[in-house]
Structure 1
Amino acid sequence: MTVSAQLAEHIASFAATDLPDTAITATARALLDGIGVMLAASGSSEDVQPFLRLAAAEPGPCTVLGTAIRSTPALAAAANGAMAHALDFGDTFDRGALHPHASAIPAALALTEARGGLDGRSLLAALAIGCDLTCRLGLALRQPMEQAGWYPPPLLGALGATATAARVIGLNADQVRAALSLTLCAVTAPGAIGSDPHSTLRATREAFAARAAVESVLLAEAGVRGFSDPIGGKGGFYALYAGGAFDPDDLFDTLGERFWGEALSFKPWPACRGTHAFIELALEALTAIPDLASIERIEVDVGEVQQMLVEPLAAKATPATAIAAKFSIPFTVALALQTGQVTLDDFGAESLADPAILMLSTRVVPRRRPDWGRDRATAGAMTIHLHGQAPWQGERLQPLGHPSNPLSSEALVEKFVACAAKASMPVADPRALADRLLSSAAAGTIASVFGD
């Protein structure tokens, strides 16, 4: 069997009842977190508004979270997908610098609603299988996709979202393979998404992945045929985006036994995960620095992956947009030091122009750590040099939110409640909704979780 045939068989036939309880719990936490950040974006992100207007112009059966808009499955998935990453607050797979639920949850919710409902455990199984595929595809890479000019998260996420969507509507293995082929045709992600300092596509990129997943599975169900091996074949995913360099062992080892969704990190701060170690260190340093004016310079140790968060240094020190600020170690460090916090309210125009924050930001100096490869994508170290006193130093290899240093379920609920408060429309009893989402595996239908 080809790589794609084996994966498609697993996606189509794995029994929801065989999903480990640990994977169910982890996926319910991810569903709670993902819905929360989409609700927050509905009322606090200008970048998502064009997607909302497009969805509103074409009525349908599917909800755009946090709004009164109901649209078609594809456009609802696109709008919710835009919101899923707009605030850069969703879960991450630190080992691969991926966001495996940012397009999968929007695609799953749209199709679940369009098809009249799904039981809670089946939805969580669909999400767990899709998330696991995204992570495995990333782990199997043996050549960085960035090397050829691509931006990995939405490309890998789109394929995982397709697996999730295929489960939701019950595609067979041949149809799954066709859907993966169609997604490969429908979605792309040039590296400019991550490098252009003025573009906001970095915020809303998952719109395209979520929409592609929905349309691909519906076309596959309708009879469109795909390629025999869209993942591992000649001209397939790895050939196109990684020079054919991948290890199938990472795709199939413990497939169906270990689910990588259990290894996700949940964000305590709404910024790129690569900034979190530095935010945590800056907040800790505040207890030892009574006067910020005493700071001469702030050295930050960065590895291969974090380099993109400090270059070009002048642009990173004075970001032009909120999403650019969230992808800046100098700005987020300065924000944490100056305000003592990093919240959803701290990336507006006022903060971007705050002279006190910008003064500190320009004092951040990166120092390359050649021993920090891709396996240290979220590590950070900081030395703050001070007038007339010894420097402050700290290091974090696994910042808060990592499975080894996790956010509790109570903390996730508090995050959800704070996010829900920013929705465009009021959310009735967000704590009760959070409790229902965390226990959604037992729900007769996922619609009942939302009170429908």
Structure 2
Amino acid sequence: MYADVTDRLCAAYAAIGFDDLPASTVAACSRVLLDASGVMMAASGMAPEARPFIDLAAKSPGPCTILGTGLTAAAPQAAFANGALAHALDYEDAFDAAPAHPNASLVPALLALAQDRGGVDGKRLVTALALGCDLSCRIGLALDRRMEEGGWYPPPINAAFGAALGAAHMLGLDARGLRDAISMMLCQAVMPGEIKYSRGTVLRAVREAFPAQAAVTSAELAASGVAGFETPLEGQSGFYALFAGGAFSPERLVEGIGERFFIEELTFKPWPSCRGTHPFIEIGLALAKTDPSMIESIEVEVSAVQQMLVDPLDRKRAPDVVIDAKFSIPFVMALAIVRGRVTLDDFAPASLQDPVIRAMARRISAKVVENSVLDSGAGGAASVRLTDGTRQRHTIPVARGAPSRPLGDDELVAKFVDCASRAAIRPDADRIDRLADAAKNIHEIKEVRSLFVPLT
């Protein structure tokens, strides 16, 4: 019934060039690149979980920079390493309206291909970034059944297809080539929900390595003329059939392509943890003004999307690894209350054993509230009981960082500067400033290949 959905989508994207992008979309792309590159650089110095991925990638010689390390690799392997860095600190941008971190695999893939091929200017990079991000968001918005029902973990899966399309578009492929790249990604993109349940794994931190590498592979194979499927998204065994039982809205997928660019509707994180924890960080920071000893108990209200951040409660109160702490409402809320801040430094492994934070986390319980203002996963509420019998009620409909409550440009630059200064090989302040200026004006860059080389 919907046999032409992928063709409609790819034809629309193939027809879009830089001159078709509104100035607001170009500005949004600059914000994405600034934020993403800073976060990857910080992870190179702060995320030991990514080191095996970096070391493996560096065994494949090539011209593509592994950010923050001074190392280079071939394009697929550089995307693999930078993808591992992109989510390792859980500090990258997010899309609140659907399950996606649309740029954590897209940016590594685009940078790797641009450095490998050469001759890619900022306008070409920006266009590919805008379109790849757009598709990732649309894929999630078009779902009529949660992918988790089939045992999948959607954010890196949804982002993978946008990364493949963006990479193929940057290589100059036509509509057929974009469809082929999406098909190639369908042969590679998986992420099991088991990633949420294993207590000791760090795969959740480095998960974007896999779709980032697959995006480069998909685009290069499509560019070589490898034919894909006719209907990779809507087919009888295509994406939506496999991941959502065929339950999706074709119109939500394709409506307004080229008119509305979802890269303008992203959230940039003020705190380095899962987006679903952010409303509870805000509440915790408000409670930090209260004597912690006065807090008898806290009951948080979460949406079904956030349930994974409180369940199982005993584990979430006392996480074993840093990435699990970042996916724990009790831990991050306790951290905010006890320390009055939530920064990159506050997720040092020693913080997980802090007896004061753990004691506060044990006072936090949870209940799931359906069909509420919290359903997007970007809001939250809490009922607090103090030792003197006083009760407080706190509600955050949408946490800070969202388009309705955005971080300002100065805040994003400050975040970038802080992140870049934490790289494994730390650039001097002048180099950090020059890279920030380049990222803010990426469309003016004549050769993307040279963008990060001076910093390594």
Same structural fold, with TM-score higher than 0.5 when normalized by the shorter chain = yes
Of 46-55 and 216-225, the range deviating more from structure 2: 216-225
CA contact (8 A) 1:73 1:111 kept: yes
* Aligned partner letter, 2:68: G
Q: Deviations over 1:214-265 (max 9, x none)?
A: 0011111112111001011111000100000100111121111000111100
- Name 2:192's counterpart in structure 1: 190
- Name 2:315's counterpart in structure 1: 315
Q: Deviations over 1:95-126 (max 9, x none)?
A: 11310000000000000000113111221110
CA contact (8 A) 2:65 2:453 kept: no
- Name 2:203's counterpart in structure 1: 201
* Cα shift at 1:374: 7.5
Q: Alignment RMSD, CA only?
A: 1.3
Q: Deviations over 1:138-177 (max 9, x none)?
A: 0000010000000101111110000110011111211211
- Within the candidate set 162, 165, 170, 2:164 is matched to 162
- Name 2:75's counterpart in structure 1: 73
- Name 1:335's counterpart in structure 2: 335
- Name 1:269's counterpart in structure 2: 271
Unaligned runs of 5+ in 1: none
Of 30-39 and 2-11, the range deviating more from structure 2: 2-11
- Could you say what secondary structure the match of 2:297 adopts? strand
CA contact (8 A) 1:302 1:369 kept: yes
User: CA 1:282–1:17 in structure 2 vs 1: closer, same or farther (change >3 Å)?
Assistant: same
CA contact (8 A) 1:65 1:80 kept: yes
- Name 2:14's counterpart in structure 1: 12
- Could you say what secondary structure the match of 2:395 adopts? strand
CA contact (8 A) 1:440 1:449 kept: no
- Name 1:384's counterpart in structure 2: 384
Between Structure 1 and Structure 2, how many residues are aligned? 450
Which runs of structure 1 show a deviation greater than 4 angstroms over 4 or more consecutive aligned residues?
Answer: none
CA contact (8 A) 1:95 1:375 kept: no
CA contact (8 A) 2:85 2:206 kept: yes
CA contact (8 A) 2:276 2:309 kept: yes
Matches within 5 A, 1:45-124: 45-124=47-126
State the alpha-carbon separation in 2 of the partners of residues 448 and 168 from structure 1.
Answer: 17
Of 36-45 and 429-438, the range deviating more from structure 2: 429-438
- Name 1:259's counterpart in structure 2: 261
- Could you say what secondary structure the match of 1:60 adopts? coil
- Name 2:426's counterpart in structure 1: 426
- Could you say what secondary structure the match of 1:59 adopts? coil
* Cα shift at 1:432: 2.6
* Aligned partner letter, 2:379: A
CA contact (8 A) 1:163 1:176 kept: yes
State the alpha-carbon separation in 1 of the partners of residues 55 and 336 from structure 2.
Answer: 34
- Name 1:364's counterpart in structure 2: 364
State the alpha-carbon separation in 1 of the partners of residues 367 and 307 from structure 2.
Answer: 9
User: CA 1:451–1:218 in structure 2 vs 1: closer, same or farther (change >3 Å)?
Assistant: closer
- Within the candidate set 219, 222, 240, 1:220 is matched to 222
- Could you say what secondary structure the match of 1:66 adopts? coil
State the alpha-carbon separation in 2 of the partners of residues 297 and 259 from structure 1.
Answer: 43
- Within the candidate set 144, 147, 150, 2:149 is matched to 147
- Name 2:23's counterpart in structure 1: 21
Of 439-448 and 24-33, the range deviating more from structure 2: 439-448
- Could you say what secondary structure the match of 2:401 adopts? coil
- Could you say what secondary structure the match of 1:186 adopts? coil
State the alpha-carbon separation in 2 of the partners of residues 313 and 373 from structure 1.
Answer: 23
Matched, 1:396 2:396: yes
* Cα shift at 1:17: 0.8
State the alpha-carbon separation in 2 of the partners of residues 88 and 349 from structure 1.
Answer: 15
* Cα shift at 1:436: 1.6
Q: Deviations over 1:163-212 (max 9, x none)?
A: 11001111121121111111111221111112222111111110000000
State the alpha-carbon separation in 1 of the partners of residues 300 and 126 from structure 2.
Answer: 39
Given the two structures, how large is their TM-score scaled by the length of structure 1? 0.97
Matches within 5 A, 1:409-448: 409-428=409-428, 429=430, 430-447=432-449
State the alpha-carbon separation in 2 of the partners of residues 52 and 450 from structure 1.
Answer: 17
User: CA 1:224–1:177 in structure 2 vs 1: closer, same or farther (change >3 Å)?
Assistant: same
